[in-house]
Amino acid sequence: MGGRGFGGGHEFGGGMHLLRMAENPRVREMLGLTDEQVGRLHKLGVESEKAAVQTRADMELHHIELRELLRAENPDHDAIMQKLDEVNALRGKMEKQHVETLLSARSVLTPEQLKKVKAFMENRGVGGGPGREHMMMEHRGGQGHPIGHPGGHAGAPAGSTPKSQEPPVQ
């Protein structure tokens, strides 16, 4: 599902990106975040990250099991399809967790703060600039990551981290 992050569109930066932004004193001041809002966003980020780590771990285990089913000399079609359904269910679970975090984070901010976040992200080139009509706070852009996917990047499987761009040691 392309363009995951914090909702259904490509504005406002990734969910974890927004939650991390709340930790930045300059951003807190610019948005006028209260200590209570910062605390709520931080708690939300920690809870979301923990849930995503668990779901990604479950997905990885299921991928290993699927790989082994596929490697069998006589692959069991029904078992493979069942395991694939389980992997897809976990992907759906991760998307739901992501949207729950979006909605929870948005509920912490005032409408004026949401407008400021949108303007801030658009001015930084995150989300493709003005005129995008998508749900707020969604983007993989910059270093924003899908919610609960620290270090993830475009084109990488969920939960993966980018490979080093350095040439191999000879």
- pLDDT tens sequence across 31-48: 999 999 999 999 999 999
Which tokens belong to 147?
Answer: 């919610």
> Cα–Cα distances in Å, from 129 out to 118, 121, 124, 132, 151?
10, 8, 8, 7, 23
The residue range of the domain holding 20 is: 15-123
The pLDDT of residue 154 is 38
| Residue 143 belongs to some domain of the structure | no
| Residue 115 belongs to some domain of the structure | yes
| Residue 83 belongs to some domain of the structure | yes
d(CA 24, CA 113): 15
Number of independent structural domains in the chain: 1
Helix segments in the chain, DSSP class H: 15-21, 25-31, 35-71, 77-108, 111-123
| Residue 117 belongs to some domain of the structure | yes
Which tokens belong to 60?
Answer: 């990885």
d(CA 152, CA 170): 28
| Residue 67 belongs to some domain of the structure | yes
The pLDDT of residue 145 is 38
pLDDT tens by residue, 104-156? 988 999 999 999 888 887 887 555 444 333 333 333 333 343 333 344 333 34
Q: What is the CA radius of gyration of the chain?
A: 18
Which amino acid is present at 139? H
| Angle CA 159–24–5, to nearest 5 | 30
pTM (two decimals): 0.60
